[in-house]
Amino acid sequence: RFSGLPFEDRRKCIEGWRTGALWGRPVFGALKELSTLAWYTQPVSWSAIGYTGPLVPPTAQRGWTDADHRYASLPIHTHKSGPGDGSTVKAKAVVIGSGAGGAAAAYALARRGMEVAVVEAGSFHLPRELSQREEEMYPRLFYDAGGRRTANRAIRVLHGHGVGGSTLHNINLCKRVPDALLEEWKLPGWSPHEFKPYLDEIERLLEVRPVDLAMVNTANALIRKGVGALGWKGGILHHNRRGCVGSGFCELGCSFDAKLNAARVLIPDAVAKGATVYADTRALRFDVAGGRVQGLTVRTQAPAWSGGGPAREWRLEADLYICAGGAVETPLLLERSGAPDPHGRLGRGLRLHPGAAVAGLFDQNVRCWQGIPQSWECTEWLSFEPGSSKRTWIVGGSAHPAGAASFLPGYGAAHAELMTHYPRLVPLSAMLHDRTQGRVGGTAGGGVELDYVLDEGDRAELARGLQACARILFAAGAREVWVPTREVLRLKSVAEVDRMPQRLADGDIDLVAVHPMGSVPMGTDPRTSGCGPDQKFHGLENLWIADASVYPTSLGVPPQISTYSVGLRVGRQV
């Protein structure tokens, strides 16, 4: 057994997995993720790396806030309530998913007096239950506890669930779909002029505005300094926040309820207008016959993170159905349901908007985990002009200990030494406006397969983006820049940037994707698209798509505001 081997033999075994045959590298990666999560989420490890820990006391020691009482009063069904096993519930419309697209669609329908049922696979969380602990919140807020990856293990794909969907854990970045892309798509009803009213309305509802310069944290101030020193294009980002205290725990859910997101703004309004929300309820399959959806079978069950429990299967019947489960879950539901797919397009066209990061080591304490994580951007290397080779959006980031540990390369003593510098690190990410197209599909065992392999052009473009990140960090005053390839590069000066990889092979560097999109894309030809410009699924007369699945290309920017607008558009037009 591994545990019975002498220490040096165990080290050699791990080293063999890390550097040897392709099958061993995913083993190494998975074990590293699990072990760093287990260790760096323990308070006993925090003092050694200078981490200050959560800003809120444990739930048992916290009082109830006005926000907690307000959410608790919402009549939202969980696994503890709702229809019984074998029941049938009737509604006028069923919305699957309560994230940006689903919440906006339900909001629009309920405001027009339509009886709406919203089905959400994730749970309903009060602000007081958002503990700011990675080991607790990843299982609650992310599919596969944040461990979902592409089939080749090269890209970690983070997408969320819960009442509010991915708007619970996102960092509130608000950027519109570029007009140049809308013009490139050439879809009826999707010109910049026609889509603008939906974007305008969503931005008013969510109070989107530039981040106050006084709220820019040290890490983002250094990024601003570096971008400015190079004379590159950049600027302040827009967010949807009110009452933000700069805790820095956005990606774990906001304990202070400062996000003006689907859960705070749209879902309560829809419920007040008569919508019914069923949390802890997974859509299993549509009953499809005669070119229509006849019903939806769902399963309500206590979530695995709470220990699970008996399941209840029941049925929803409605006149119309709206899929808004996201670019992974929506095509999986359609595939399980045997939805018409005569041209084999279902799940194809997947874009991931993947990103990789480098880290700058500074002389001062930065504590990147404190304050608003992302408030400054660099757009020097992102252009949507036809034929442009600039396809990289650069933005700062933050990482709590387990996330930082999984991002930093190596293991054992070498990895521990890197972690001692944690408070002085500034991560900077290059996110790719990808042209690669992948596929979402289910497995025989009921799992998920994300078949996505970066093409050569995207590999080279992402490498160029990482070089640009390194130049920004040096221009900001970094003493070293770390490139977390399998053999870590520790660059001492900007003159060494050319040592960085000119292209990225699978497994060279950890990639993360938080914006899957495009797996049921819009188009006028059913042979090459999944739904029409009206977002109605080809082949089913009463099913629409209202999530990031519908984009014909990558957006190249965070899709939150665009996806809210996609949902609002469906809710208004059906």
Q: For position 547, what pLDDT does the model report?
A: 98
Query: Which 3 state secondary structure label does DSSP give 304?
Result: helix
Residue 384: which of 131, 557, 148 has the closest Cα? 557
Percentages helix, strand, coil for the chain (3-state, rounded to 5) are 35, 20, 45
Q: What is the β-pairing status of strands 511-513 and 155-157?
A: parallel
pLDDT at 385: 92
Phi, psi of 300 (to 5 degrees): -105, 130
Nearest to 410 by CA among 398, 402, 419, 420: 419
> pLDDT of the chain along its 574 residues, tens only?
989 999 999 999 888 888 776 667 778 888 888 899 899 999 999 999 999 999 999 888 899 999 999 999 999 999 999 999 999 999 999 999 999 999 999 999 999 999 999 999 999 999 999 999 999 999 999 999 999 999 998 999 999 999 999 999 999 999 999 999 999 999 999 999 999 999 999 999 999 999 999 999 999 999 999 999 999 999 999 999 999 999 999 999 999 999 999 999 999 999 999 999 999 999 999 999 999 999 999 999 999 999 999 999 999 999 999 999 999 999 999 999 999 999 999 999 999 999 999 999 999 999 999 999 999 999 999 999 988 989 999 999 888 999 899 888 888 888 999 999 999 999 999 999 999 999 999 998 889 999 999 999 999 999 999 999 999 999 999 999 999 887 789 999 999 999 998 988 887 888 999 999 999 999 999 999 999 999 999 999 999 999 999 999 999 999 999 999 999 999 999 9
Q: Are 181 and 353 in contact (CB under 8 A)?
A: no
pLDDT number for residue 311: 97
Question: Closest Cα to residue 264, out of 374, 127, 80, 405?
Answer: 127
> Whose structure tokens read 């160029």?
464
Cα–Cα distance, 415 to 59 (Å, whole number): 33
Query: What contacts 449, CB < 8 A, 6 or more positions away?
Result: 151, 440, 441, 442, 443
Distance in angstroms (rounded) separating the CA atoms of residues 276 and 278: 7
Question: Tokens 């400054």 sit at which residue?
Answer: 376
Q: Are 112 and 289 in contact (CB under 8 A)?
A: no
Residue 28: per-residue pLDDT: 84
Q: How far is CA 47 from CA 37, 53, 174, 217, 407, in A?
A: 16, 9, 35, 22, 20
